[in-house]
């Protein structure tokens, strides 16, 4: 299967404060060449207005990141919003702090994630979990990520691996992509560099040290549909330029726009 590119809007969060900002930013994203976006870090805007803006530009809303409180307290609103957007993949961008420090915390969250995922599945949607590096801390021989993978229901919970954070956690992105075969249709594409001063930094995809040829091949092998490009920090570079560099590099690697 071919992986299609999207822009993770969290990269542009400083340019998404008002409906006018959102309209202008989406236009620039389309001009770069992206045909899809992941909704995250977007300021207040009516769901239907956002759908009109994206549809008018020919942008697909391929996935989202939704707050934990929304998923546990406002499920009906979450479902309605995603149905308006025609968006299949409902993402949680990170594990709440209270579950991060013990195996028991991860086990408790796995149970909650199963409930969230089953409710979304009943509405025709798919719950996806996005990792950072902290999930690779070990608890009694298993990492937090191992617990989430092993203790969540494969029919209810999918994953949205962030390959940068997998590597930052000391794990192998390619190994994990293959591990979640059948449970991942959305992957976060993000690179990684180390400065001469030994600072780990986010990087435009193709400008860092990660093995994206192997990463992309593994994604194709397991049938990943979407590859949102995200860069948490751009270190003084215009974030639109960073997204364009990643886009152009990934296109040269054979990824579809």
**CA separation for the pair 211, 251 (Å, rounded):** 16
**CA separation for the pair 176, 215 (Å, rounded):** 10
**CA separation for the pair 125, 128 (Å, rounded):** 10
Q: Which residues pair with 191 in a beta bridge?
A: 203
Give me the chain's average pLDDT, please.
97
**CA separation for the pair 183, 179 (Å, rounded):** 9
Which residue reads 């199963």 in tokens? 114
Measured CA to CA in angstroms, residue 182 lies from 90, 118, 126, 156, 177 at distances of 17, 17, 13, 12, 10
Query: What is the phi/psi pair of residue 170, to 5°?
Result: 90, 10
Q: What is the pLDDT of residue 195?
A: 96
Q: Which two tokens stand for residue 243?
A: 């997204």
Q: Could you report the per-residue pLDDT of 138-165, keeping only the tens digit for each?
A: 999 999 999 999 999 999 999 999 999 9
Q: Could you report the per-residue pLDDT of 1-50, keeping only the tens digit for each?
A: 799 999 999 999 999 999 999 999 999 999 999 999 999 999 999 999 99
Q: What is the pLDDT of residue 1?
A: 75
């Amino acid at each position: 299967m071919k992986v299609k590119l999207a822009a993770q809007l969290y990269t542009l969060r400083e340019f998404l404060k008002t409906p006018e900002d959102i309209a202008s930013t989406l236009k620039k994203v389309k001009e770069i060449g992206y045909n899809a976006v992941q909704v995250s870090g977007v300021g207040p805007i009516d769901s239907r207005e956002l759908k009109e803006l994206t549809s008018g530009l020919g942008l697909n809303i391929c996935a989202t990141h939704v707050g934990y409180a929304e998923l546990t307290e406002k499920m009906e609103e979450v479902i309605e919003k995603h149905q308006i957007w025609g968006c299949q993949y409902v993402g949680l961008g990170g594990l709440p702090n209270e579950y991060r420090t013990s195996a028991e915390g991860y086990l408790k969250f796995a149970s909650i994630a199963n409930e969230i995922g089953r409710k979304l599945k009943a509405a025709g949607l798919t719950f996806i979990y996005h990792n950072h590096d902290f999930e690779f801390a070990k608890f009694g021989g298993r990492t937090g990520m191992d617990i989430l993978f092993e203790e969540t229901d494969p029919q209810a919970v999918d994953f949205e691996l962030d390959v940068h954070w997998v590597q930052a956690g000391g794990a192998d992105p390619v190994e994990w992509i293959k591990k979640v075969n059948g449970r991942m249709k959305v992957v976060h594409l993000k690179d990684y560099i180390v400065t001469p001063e030994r600072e780990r930094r986010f990087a435009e995809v193709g400008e860092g040290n990660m093995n994206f040829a192997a990463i992309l091949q593994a994604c194709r092998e397991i049938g990943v549909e979407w590859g949102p490009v995200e860069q948490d920090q751009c270190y003084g570079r215009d974030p639109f330029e960073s997204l364009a560099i990643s886009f152009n590099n990934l296109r040269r690697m054979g990824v579809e726009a």
